[in-house]
């Protein structure tokens, strides 16, 4: 039997040290040999969200973890788990339906942040609400209203954890006249040292939430640190700028059994 690590997702398909089988939603479409590899593997890498559920039910270990997939791009679940675990997080409330949305003013004063609750990334669908007109425009979008207090900052920290270790950490600095720090929104990277308390908070958050491949975003406001969210589909520009070959790094971590 081939001893190379087995992966379903195509992220590392060009690396011969890792055997990529591809994603096939019909399990019977895998060859008999491939099925045996999957079923006998102690761990499956990049199982895809579809198979992560199934492997978890079978008791088979995956990387990323089952929980990493379950929280991906779901701000509602993330806010709930932060509150349940006592992880510092800006005041946030989700409003469902027309009746609840009419009560937003009871909980938040202008300005505040409004986001798309599920599926958004790269700073898209994030709005600074400064007036009733802004709010009305935001509420035209379907789905629950995800409302968060606005903490005025010009930078945040992106801390990327792979396995149980921090692999990269940097500041993201917002461009002038833009409250978003995302690189895709004009933010820039600064590799200046980050506060140890922020690094510890990121590691604690990832550990408690069961996330092992995630970019944790943290801000400091009035000498307090807050976790904004976990990004399971984080960008890799920071690695590139730091001179780290992201996929080669992943290959090494997997082959050496460090994730």
Report long-range pairs for 238-243 (Cβ below 8 Å, ≥24 apart): 238/158, 238/160, 238/168, 238/170, 238/183, 238/189, 239/168, 241/189, 241/191, 242/168, 242/170, 242/191
Mean pLDDT of 115-127: 81
Residue 185 has pLDDT above 90, yes or no: no
Residue 2 has pLDDT above 70, yes or no: no
Q: How far apart are CA 20 and CA 7, in angstroms?
A: 5
Mean pLDDT of 217-227: 97
Element (H, E) at 215: strand 213-221
CB 37 within 8 A of CB 19: yes
Q: Quote the distance between the C-alpha of residue 215 and its chain's center.
A: 5
Mean pLDDT of the chain: 95
91-149 homologous superfamily:
ATP-grasp fold, A domain (3.30.1490.20)
Q: Do domains 91-149 and 155-255 have the same CATH topology?
A: no
Q: How far apart are CA 158 and CA 173, in angstroms?
A: 10
- pLDDT tens across 32-55, in order? 999 999 999 999 999 999 999 999
Q: How far apart are CA 66 and CA 55, in angstroms?
A: 8
Q: What angle do CA 47, 53, 58 make, to 5 degrees?
A: 95
Domain ranges in the chain are 6-63, 91-149, 155-255
- pLDDT tens across 68-85, in order? 999 999 999 999 999 999
At residue 123, the pLDDT reads: 63
How many Å is the Cα radius of gyration of the chain?
20
Q: Quote the distance between the C-alpha of residue 179 and its chain's center.
A: 20
- pTM given for the model: 0.94
Give me the CATH topology for the region 155-255.
D-amino Acid Aminotransferase; Chain A, domain 1 (3.30.470)
């Amino acid at each position: 039997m081939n001893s190379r690590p087995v992966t379903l997702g195509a992220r590392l398909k060009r690396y011969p040290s890792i055997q990529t089988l591809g994603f096939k939603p019909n399990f019977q479409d895998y060859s008999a040999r491939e099925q045996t590899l999957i079923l006998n593997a102690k761990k499956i890498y990049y199982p895809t969200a579809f198979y992560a559920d199934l492997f978890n039910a079978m008791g088979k270990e995956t990387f990323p973890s089952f929980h990493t997939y379950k929280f991906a791009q779901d701000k509602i679940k993330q806010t709930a788990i932060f509150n349940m675990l006592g992880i510092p997080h800006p005041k946030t409330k989700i409003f469902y339906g027309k009746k609840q949305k009419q009560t937003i003013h009871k909980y938040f004063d202008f300005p505040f942040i409004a986001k798309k609750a599920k599926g958004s990334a790269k700073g898209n669908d994030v709005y600074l609400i400064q007036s009733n007109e802004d709010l009305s425009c935001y509420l035209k979008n379907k789905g629950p209203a995800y409302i968060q207090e606005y903490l005025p900052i010009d930078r945040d920290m992106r801390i990327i954890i792979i396995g149980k270790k921090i692999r990269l950490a940097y500041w993201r600095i917002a461009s002038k006249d833009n409250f978003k720090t995302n690189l895709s929104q004009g933010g820039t990277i600064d590799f200046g040292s980050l506060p140890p308390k922020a690094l510890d908070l990121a590691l604690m958050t990832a550990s408690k939430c069961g996330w092992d491949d995630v970019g944790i975003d943290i801000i400091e406001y009035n000498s307090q640190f807050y976790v904004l969210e976990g990004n399971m589909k984080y960008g890799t520009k920071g690695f590139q700028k730091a001179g780290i070959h992201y996929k080669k790094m992943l290959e090494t971590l997997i082959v050496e059994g460090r994730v």
